[in-house]
Structure 1
Amino acid sequence: MIGVQSLLRTPDGAFVPVLEADPGDLDEYYLAGAIDLEINGTQIIDTEMWDYVDQLWAYICTMLQDLRSSGTSRTYFPDQPIELKFERLPSSLVLVSIEAGDDIRKVSVDEEELVERLGCAAKEFFQDMNSLLRQDRYSGELRKIDSILRQ
């Protein structure tokens, strides 16, 4: 089971769901936030790992494409030395791992479930951001996600 939620960081350091954020408090070019990602009972990403959340979602979408094409992908967070990796295993599983200094977390999950759940969560994030900002700012990312989900 995969639980995922996109959060934006408020000026006072709290985290709120995207549509609960005040657009006036956001820096559209440096969008601070976090992805809360739990896979099969293992907390992979949490609010302690906050960063530029729109960039991180874009990186994760690229990771999903790379996973589909080559069976492995990795990225660093936009502004932190945190490495996220996806590695295809036998039996349609993917090893998801994250390394943040001495904190290393790993879990395996069904590849189709991972791609579907993260793809849908990314799509929801970018759609919600377009709505919140009242712009069509993330149309390229949305086209990319649709392509990933059709594979």
Structure 2
Amino acid sequence: MVEMRSLVGDADRGFVPVEEFAGPCPKRGDLESAVVLEANGVTLLDTDMWDSVDLLWALIVRGAHEFRDNGQARIRFPDQPIFVTLRRSGADGVRLDVEWPAGHRSSWATREELLAAVRQGAVTFFELLLELSPPSDWKYREQLRSAQTL
């Protein structure tokens, strides 16, 4: 089982699920929070790996498309030296590796579980951001459409 979700906040104030975030929505790239990724009982990404979460979700969605199309992808966090690598494993599997200066975590999932988790997490996140953002913020709409096509 794979689960991805967004938590908004920081280590000082604490984190809340994105569904509980009521704004205000900062300018693009300034929403520092975390994406949590758990695969088969292993927490790969957590709140210690916070970043500009709107940019991070865009990179995760792009990486998921790349993995779907090519069987591998490497995703770099926008503001931290953290890398997520996705590699095809067997007929329908994916190996997930997270590397950062202090460590490494890895797990395995099915291709469909991973893509469904990315799609669900990203759609939930970008739909909320669109509710809280000015109507002219077309980038979030573009990211939402990209996530929906996974």
Using the size of structure 1 for normalisation, the TM-score is 0.89
Give the match for residue 27 of structure 1.
Answer: 26
- Give, in whole Å, the separation in 1 of the partners of 2:10 and 2:21: 7
Give the match for residue 93 of structure 1.
Answer: 93
Identity of aligned residues (%): 33
Say what the alpha-carbon RMSD is for the aligned residues: 1.7
Unaligned runs of 5+ in 2: none
Aligned length: 147
Residue 69 of structure 1, CA deviation: 1.2
Using the size of structure 2 for normalisation, the TM-score is 0.90
Residues 45-84 of structure 1 mapped to structure 2, 5 A cutoff: 45-84=45-84
Deviations 1:78-130 (A, max 9, x none): 00000111000113100011001131000010001100111111011100111
Q: Is the 8 A contact 2:10 2:50 kept in 1?
A: no
- Give, in whole Å, the separation in 2 of the partners of 1:22 and 1:121: 18
Unaligned runs of 5+ in 1: none
Matched, 1:146 2:145: no
Residues 102-121 of structure 1 mapped to structure 2, 5 A cutoff: 102-121=102-121
Find the residue that maps to 1:80 and give its secondary structure.
coil
Q: Is the 8 A contact 1:19 1:132 kept in 2?
A: no
Residue 20 of structure 1, CA deviation: 2.1
